[in-house]
Structure 1
Amino acid sequence: MSSTSPAKIPNLCNRLFRAFEESRSRKTKQKYNPTEHSNSLDFSGWRVEMPSPSAPSRSATPGDWDEPPSDVVVEEKIILEELLTVFLGGDSYLIRVVNFSRRTGKKKFNLSPSIDEMNAEFVRKCLPMAVYYSILCRFVEEHSAKNLQAGRVNQALSGSIDELLISEYVMFIESLEKKNRSGRLHLHELWFHIQNVMTSMKMNAELVLTITENKTQGGLTLTALHEYLNKIVALISLDTRLCFQMTKISSAPYMKSVKEWIFNGVIYDPFNEFMIVENPRVNKETYSEGYWENKYQLRHCMIPSFLDDVKDYILNAGKYLNAMKECADYERKPIDLPPLENLEYSDDNAYNEVIVKAYKHSSKALLKYMLNDHKLIKRISTAKKYFLLEQGDFVAQILDTCNEELDKDINEVMPSRLATLVEMAIKMPTTEDDVPTKIHITSCLKTLDLQSQVTKIMRNVPQKNDSDSIADETLPLTGYEAFTLSMKCRWPVSLVFNTKVQSLYQMLFRHFFYCKHVERLLCNAWILDQTIRSMSHEEMKPYGPALVLRNKMILFLQNMQNYITEDAIEPAWIEFLESVEHCESVDDLIQKHWDFLETCMKDCFLADLKMLSLFRRIVDLCKDAAKFILGLGTLRNVEEYPSYSLHISKLDEEFTKNIVAFLSRIIDMSTRDPSGKLIKLYYRLNFNHFYNQKLAKNGSNVKSNISFIDLRQ
């Protein structure tokens, strides 16, 4: 190449400038010539040519705008071409991006100032569709299958938007491009054609913006989709087909997790977005009252709104299957799983029927397993026999063999010795066959008195362990006051006999056992009093008040025990057995069992603190009288105890005073007792209207508060 002299440089620059202008003019004419068009467009490679439609285009710089042709027709054609390009996220010469949000994909545009104002107004009205498209593309990119943190539901939603919405949108823009190349499209026609599409794109963009800004996953995303579908159903002008398909595709992974749970009892939740969560720290061996509720729980924030009505069915269906799986016999005997059915989102809520059907199958299978394989009713019957003192010979053995140990202060009782004596009483030939092998009954000492324990239960105060020292809250107890039974059972029977249930059984046992103990003391006093029957009438006269008081106390305790067993416990037990036949799940059975115990607590005066306080005061007076009489031994001359008659008189007066208060309370409670058992108890305790005068003095109007019952019937 020859060297260029400095004199030739200006001439060379002019030639280059003219060549550049000619090349630019040819490109402009070739691009915007309306006579050149093609009837077939190929959009197969649009993803490759524009791999990120939501990415920002080149920004507008003042003074850097391309001047449109002065001809209005040509300018409109150029603007149409550029709008269609911008609709698909492409670059433009007259429409530039001035702001772009990388998190949401939202764009803002600026127009060339040289565009005709009327054309510019049309462009401004059409540009929101490009913004909505950019938002949707950004969501698809951010929540694709490559992003594991997005969650399966968001990934499915992203795929459905890409497959259904964006694909149809691109086809729509392609049809507009064909019409434009044929010279049959104008700005006002473009605005007319995109109305419905823009509305749909707007609502979908608002949906994904809500999901993105709130960072929703799983059930929350499905709730947003379901509510969105219901919203557009009200707008008849919109096509709901796409939205329904998007919701169905997006819910498929979630419904798969629901299916695994209700048909197999398996939690499949790789991205922590399912409505059921398992607490691995809750162990079935430590069957606290919270196991059944805390092992598997609902995460309400992850429940889709369309599954809200059946959320409890979903929870319990899988929970029942897991209860059977965790049984010891699971490895040797397969469990009865529900038959598999298709489960998918539908507009007629057909999935609800599938879920309820699976729940009913699982609940009945577990109930049948508990009743037949684990003899649950037999175990509840055993608990009733021992805790509610139906097993009479067992009570007598305890009172005989454990009297020496239980008569001590609680701090002096040897728990190991007491446990051995109780075990011997349980293993008596007459009682051994009644205890199932998987229920182990043993002794237990409570450091809290019965009234305080009942108060804490009623106020929902957490119970302390038996080993906890709470001596500062109550006076020291005797072994008889602190003694109760405890029950240990294996899974799944432990579901029914949890800590709460055992607490009720123990309180009822303490209540009854203490009455038996005091009755036994009065009977021993009666045996001792038989030694004075050989005395003359005059010699026996000083003992008369004590004998009468002892007989009144024995009659009170016997009438109360008869009421507790015959009128309170047995009717409730019969009602419980009848209700078991109508139970459809283990939860129903647990609830019926709990209702039975609550009824016993109420009818035995443990649920009324005032009534319990009066009853315990009367029983304590009976104990004091029995111990006073037994303390005299075989005394033949009461003159050795000058305060004998005075003490008996005070005990009799205090006993009568508390009996009257107790009867007055029964009168008040009888108005709320439709069964009439309290009225019967009243007439037993007030036989022959013995306390009527004192009741009248106490202000109790017997005739106006209770109805007369002919006891002879």
Structure 2
Amino acid sequence: MIIAYVIMGDFKVHHLVKELVEFLGSSSSPEKCMDIIQRNSAPFTSSHTASQTAVRNISQHSPNPAAFLSKYEELKSKNLDSLGPFVNLLSRISDDKRLKTYLERHAVNVTASEASSESTSATSLHIDDKSLSKTTEDHAHIRSRLKKKVTSTDGKKLGPFEKSINLSSRTKLPKVPNWWAERPFMTMDFVQDLSANLTPLAGIPPSSQENYLLEDLLYCLSGITGNHIIPQAIIDPHGHVTFSISEGIDLPLKELVNRVLPLASHYSMVARFVEVKSSFEYGVVNHALAAAMQGLLKDYLVFVAQLETEHRKGLLTLHKLWFYIQPTLRTMEILSVIADTINKADARGGKVLSYLHEQTTSAMGEQSGQELCLYLTQAACVPYMEILEKWVYKGVINDPYEEFLVEDNEIIEMEELPQNYSDDYWEKRYTIRRERIPSFLEKVADVILRTGKYLNVIRKAVKSPQAEEIVYTIKQRQYVEAIERAYLFASKTLLDLLMEENHLMKRLRSVKHYFLLDQGDFIVQFMDLCEEELQKKIDEIVPTRLESLLELALRTSAANNDPFKDDMCAELLPYDLMFQIFKILTIETRDEEEYRVQSQNFDLTGLESFSFGYNVKWPVSLVLNQKAIACYQMIFRHLFYCKHVERLLCSVWLSNKVAKSFPLMASQTYGPAFALQQRMLNCVQNLEYYMMFEVIEPSWHEFLENMEKVNNVDEVLLCHSNFLDICLNNCMLTNPSLLPTVHKLLGVCVKFADFIKHMRTYFVDAELTSMLG
């Protein structure tokens, strides 16, 4: 679709292509690149086999395969959604020798230019430093800024609550005091104590060593540092804790201790995850997951307390401890893996749910592991599903931490729509954020978007559907069916609201009568009444007089029977048709600025700037939005100008009647001019016939047939958009090579008609004088 108003996705792709062309220093046109991309684009289907093939191919061409594979595994551990397509792209580049050579050459040029700019900036910085040294105040200011920057980025100074997530300015997070910095012993995890030293156990009998080690193990399993077993400081805040054990321990006892300590490490990982992810900026999904894990940690600490009771009774040994912790060790290991993966990926919202769903489905062979993953997934899904329920049942988004798959861009408030409607409300206010979609909702994401949009439109007009609780299950059928039922209700209700209550088809027929010149007597009467007024300069036209003449034409023609005639209005646009169309066709190119500059110098007449306007109220404005009205106006202005040219040429024909009274020799002198006039008239009339009867009428009948088959508002919008696209394209309004030619031909006809009209007085007087003489 190359018409004016492209959808937002195409515009973004066009913008990115333009940036890429400029970055590479290419002379290619962004439009040509876009055409190539659209012709060769195909959906990318990611699979494990395809990704592994691409990775193997890249590593074979890489000068350092080990470094590449290491980086790939690091990114893979973060569970990045775009890793598969990106690796596939790199693999294709590595197979294309011409592209590789071009990119290498460009990289060398960029490196050289960056080196030059760095040397220049270094010089400028040196000069600035000299100028800054003139005053002690500048020194103090710079010193304070540096100190603030260093303290804010020092990893050791940051507590669990100090890490920030990139949220939009609309999200206001409550301020929470940094308890972990002020009261470090409030944590469930180990407190880093650099002064802690190991107490040696050398020389102590093995039975006494076992008692000491049991005591310390129970401490470590609860996140408390022991005397003979202490945790080592961790550099990575999401890393696993390792432990140091006193020297001189009996080897069998040390082996048992090393078997038990992973449970303490898993507990530490989960406890840190619960404390950090409970912070506001990590979102309600992480909050729910952390709460579920905290519940499991409470059960775990009860289990440790039971072990401690056994130890106090003297009934616990290291072998018994190893036996007792077997089920818990597996549970904590699963929790630790989940916490570690989410931490590395810095996941929020739908990404967390996608990973949990993947863990649940992959644990099919292990019943206890699958039940645990299912419990965590269901718990984490609760707040997400509550947002989903409110959206698909009420058309309202309550997403304080920007996690839901539908984003409210808040372009325009609904209360403003009847007076100041923009089609941005429908196309841009609610959009899908693909990176937020849980994998188990991927297939119904578009249905979810449309359901909420429909309900958002009709929520003030009709009652909401009966809400059903949406709960996550391994089998998708239950919640998918609930979503589809809500969608069917919303789509049918909104379609009925448009078609039945607001008479959409009657309004479209009314628009066709006026904008596409379907009401023949009305346009003739209007041009008869307004022709003199429209031939003035745009600054000399009185808008109220034009409105009165339009009203008179409506009341005195067959249009008087139209119930929607009062929605018509007259508009005088500050640019002509050519500028309007070419500004659209040259969007994001250098030519656009040239057209903008030229528009300031236009000395327009009323005929060149006139167009009909149409007042539309909500919710009909969903279909007859500003984009659609603008397309109708472009077609109307073209047809209206052709009608004007036809009327001028017909007025020239009146001169033929006067010439019939001339002598034979004299009348033959004017024969070529009148023959040219007839050819021009035939050309213009054929052009009008082609546009009105071979383009618009067949397209309109096809549009009516398609409208009988629509099931939702999106299909209505698509049918209407396709109808306008076909009319614009086939009327040659979107062809940058044909439109200027047609416009010039019409301009020649106007000049010819004006010339004949101007010269008519002279040649008639001359011939009559010669006849009398």
TM-score by length of 2: 0.67
- Corresponding position of 2:471: 344
Matching residue within 157, 168, 173 for 2:289: 157
Whether the 8 Å CA contact 1:122–1:191 is kept in 2: the answer is yes
- Corresponding position of 2:231: 97
Letter in 2 for 1:262: V
Letter in 2 for 1:157: L
Task: State the secondary structure of the residue aligned to 1:431.
Answer: helix
- Corresponding position of 1:286: 420
State the Cα deviation string for residues 294-351 of structure 1 (Å, max 9, x = none). Answer: 33333444433322332222222111111123xxxx4xxx514323222111111132
- Deviation of residue 176 (structure 1)? 10
- Deviation of residue 556 (structure 1)? 1.6
Task: State the secondary structure of the residue aligned to 1:99.
Answer: coil
Indicate how the Cα distance of structure 1 residues 637 and 317 shifts in structure 2: closer, same or farther if over 3 A, else same. Answer: closer
- Deviation of residue 602 (structure 1)? 1.3
Give the Cα–Cα distance (whole angstroms) in 2 for the partners of residues 97 and 252 of structure 1.
36
- Corresponding position of 1:622: 749
- Deviation of residue 197 (structure 1)? 4.5
- Corresponding position of 1:709: none
Give the Cα–Cα distance (whole angstroms) in 1 for the partners of residues 596 and 186 of structure 2.
72
Letter in 2 for 1:297: T
- Corresponding position of 1:223: 354
- Corresponding position of 2:535: 407
Whether the 8 Å CA contact 2:394–2:452 is kept in 1: the answer is yes
Task: State the secondary structure of the residue aligned to 1:484.
Answer: strand
Indicate how the Cα distance of structure 1 residues 105 and 155 shifts in structure 2: closer, same or farther if over 3 A, else same. Answer: farther
Letter in 2 for 1:317: T
Whether the 8 Å CA contact 1:97–1:107 is kept in 2: the answer is yes
Whether the 8 Å CA contact 1:156–1:250 is kept in 2: the answer is yes
- Corresponding position of 2:454: 320
Indicate how the Cα distance of structure 1 residues 404 and 193 shifts in structure 2: closer, same or farther if over 3 A, else same. Answer: same
Whether the 8 Å CA contact 1:447–1:470 is kept in 2: the answer is no
- Corresponding position of 1:41: none
- Deviation of residue 392 (structure 1)? 1.1
- Corresponding position of 1:119: 253
- Corresponding position of 1:451: 578
- Corresponding position of 1:564: 691
- Deviation of residue 564 (structure 1)? 1.4
- Deviation of residue 453 (structure 1)? 1.7
Give the Cα–Cα distance (whole angstroms) in 2 for the partners of residues 113 and 60 of structure 1.
18
- Deviation of residue 535 (structure 1)? 3.8
- Corresponding position of 1:493: 620
Whether the 8 Å CA contact 1:522–1:550 is kept in 2: the answer is yes
- Deviation of residue 248 (structure 1)? 0.3
State the Cα deviation string for residues 519-543 of structure 1 (Å, max 9, x = none). Answer: 1111111123222333443342112
- Deviation of residue 511 (structure 1)? 0.6
Whether the 8 Å CA contact 2:200–2:246 is kept in 1: the answer is yes
- Corresponding position of 2:220: 86
Give the Cα–Cα distance (whole angstroms) in 1 for the partners of residues 203 and 376 of structure 2.
42
Whether the 8 Å CA contact 2:646–2:684 is kept in 1: the answer is yes
Letter in 1 for 2:538: I
- Corresponding position of 2:721: 594
Give the Cα–Cα distance (whole angstroms) in 2 for the partners of residues 137 and 181 of structure 1.
29
Letter in 2 for 1:152: V
Give the Cα–Cα distance (whole angstroms) in 1 for the partners of residues 445 and 367 of structure 2.
34
Give the Cα–Cα distance (whole angstroms) in 1 for the partners of residues 760 and 194 of structure 2.
112
- Corresponding position of 1:389: 517
Whether the 8 Å CA contact 2:407–2:433 is kept in 1: the answer is yes
Letter in 1 for 2:191: P
Indicate how the Cα distance of structure 1 residues 194 and 68 shifts in structure 2: closer, same or farther if over 3 A, else same. Answer: farther
Task: State the secondary structure of the residue aligned to 2:737.
Answer: helix
Indicate how the Cα distance of structure 1 residues 352 and 203 shifts in structure 2: closer, same or farther if over 3 A, else same. Answer: same
- Please, which moves more after superposition, 449-458 or 194-203? 194-203
- Deviation of residue 220 (structure 1)? 3.6
Whether the 8 Å CA contact 1:531–1:634 is kept in 2: the answer is no
Whether the 8 Å CA contact 1:336–1:365 is kept in 2: the answer is no
Give 1:438-587 correspondences, 5 Å limit.
440-460=567-587, 472=599, 475-587=602-714
- Deviation of residue 363 (structure 1)? 1.4
Whether the 8 Å CA contact 1:60–1:97 is kept in 2: the answer is no
Indicate how the Cα distance of structure 1 residues 280 and 614 shifts in structure 2: closer, same or farther if over 3 A, else same. Answer: closer
Whether the 8 Å CA contact 2:277–2:287 is kept in 1: the answer is yes
Whether the 8 Å CA contact 2:198–2:229 is kept in 1: the answer is no
Whether the 8 Å CA contact 1:99–1:109 is kept in 2: the answer is no
Matching residue within 368, 371, 374 for 1:244: 374
- Please, which moves more after superposition, 112-121 or 632-641? 632-641
- Deviation of residue 106 (structure 1)? 5.8
Whether the 8 Å CA contact 2:611–2:633 is kept in 1: the answer is yes
Indicate how the Cα distance of structure 1 residues 460 and 348 shifts in structure 2: closer, same or farther if over 3 A, else same. Answer: farther
- Corresponding position of 2:503: 375
Whether the 8 Å CA contact 1:143–1:158 is kept in 2: the answer is yes
- Deviation of residue 628 (structure 1)? 2.2
State the Cα deviation string for residues 462-486 of structure 1 (Å, max 9, x = none). Answer: 9xxxxx9965566433221221111
Give the Cα–Cα distance (whole angstroms) in 2 for the partners of residues 155 and 62 of structure 1.
36
Task: State the secondary structure of the residue aligned to 1:110.
Answer: strand
Indicate how the Cα distance of structure 1 residues 540 and 143 shifts in structure 2: closer, same or farther if over 3 A, else same. Answer: closer
Give the Cα–Cα distance (whole angstroms) in 1 for the partners of residues 760 and 280 of structure 2.
87
Matching residue within 244, 248, 264 for 2:394: 264
Aligned-residue CA RMSD (Å):
3.5
- Deviation of residue 451 (structure 1)? 2.2
- Deviation of residue 74 (structure 1)? 5.2
Whether the 8 Å CA contact 2:197–2:227 is kept in 1: the answer is no
Letter in 1 for 2:552: M
- Corresponding position of 1:418: 546
Give the Cα–Cα distance (whole angstroms) in 2 for the partners of residues 474 and 195 of structure 1.
85
State the Cα deviation string for residues 627-652 of structure 1 (Å, max 9, x = none). Answer: 222223366659779xxxxxxxxxxx
- Please, which moves more after superposition, 244-253 or 495-504? 495-504
Give the Cα–Cα distance (whole angstroms) in 2 for the partners of residues 186 and 172 of structure 1.
14
Give the Cα–Cα distance (whole angstroms) in 2 for the partners of residues 416 and 461 of structure 1.
37
- Deviation of residue 139 (structure 1)? 3.4
Whether the 8 Å CA contact 2:190–2:225 is kept in 1: the answer is no
Give the Cα–Cα distance (whole angstroms) in 1 for the partners of residues 449 and 559 of structure 2.
41
- Deviation of residue 173 (structure 1)? 8.5
TM-score by length of 1: 0.72
Indicate how the Cα distance of structure 1 residues 141 and 608 shifts in structure 2: closer, same or farther if over 3 A, else same. Answer: closer
Give the Cα–Cα distance (whole angstroms) in 2 for the partners of residues 57 and 444 of structure 1.
74
Task: State the secondary structure of the residue aligned to 1:344.
Answer: coil
Q: Which has the higher contact order (CA 8 A, sep 6+)?
A: 2
Give the Cα–Cα distance (whole angstroms) in 2 for the partners of residues 461 and 379 of structure 1.
34
Give the Cα–Cα distance (whole angstroms) in 1 for the partners of residues 680 and 236 of structure 2.
88
- Corresponding position of 2:299: 167
Gaps of 5+ in 1: 1-49, 463-467, 642-713
Whether the 8 Å CA contact 1:164–1:242 is kept in 2: the answer is no
Letter in 2 for 1:269: D
Whether the 8 Å CA contact 2:680–2:749 is kept in 1: the answer is yes
- Corresponding position of 2:148: none
State the Cα deviation string for residues 541-576 of structure 1 (Å, max 9, x = none). Answer: 112112211221222222222221111001100111
- Deviation of residue 213 (structure 1)? 6.2
- Corresponding position of 2:168: none
Give the Cα–Cα distance (whole angstroms) in 2 for the partners of residues 106 and 141 of structure 1.
16
- Corresponding position of 1:45: none
Give the Cα–Cα distance (whole angstroms) in 2 for the partners of residues 270 and 101 of structure 1.
33
Letter in 2 for 1:251: C
> Which protein is bigger by CA-based radius of gyration?
1
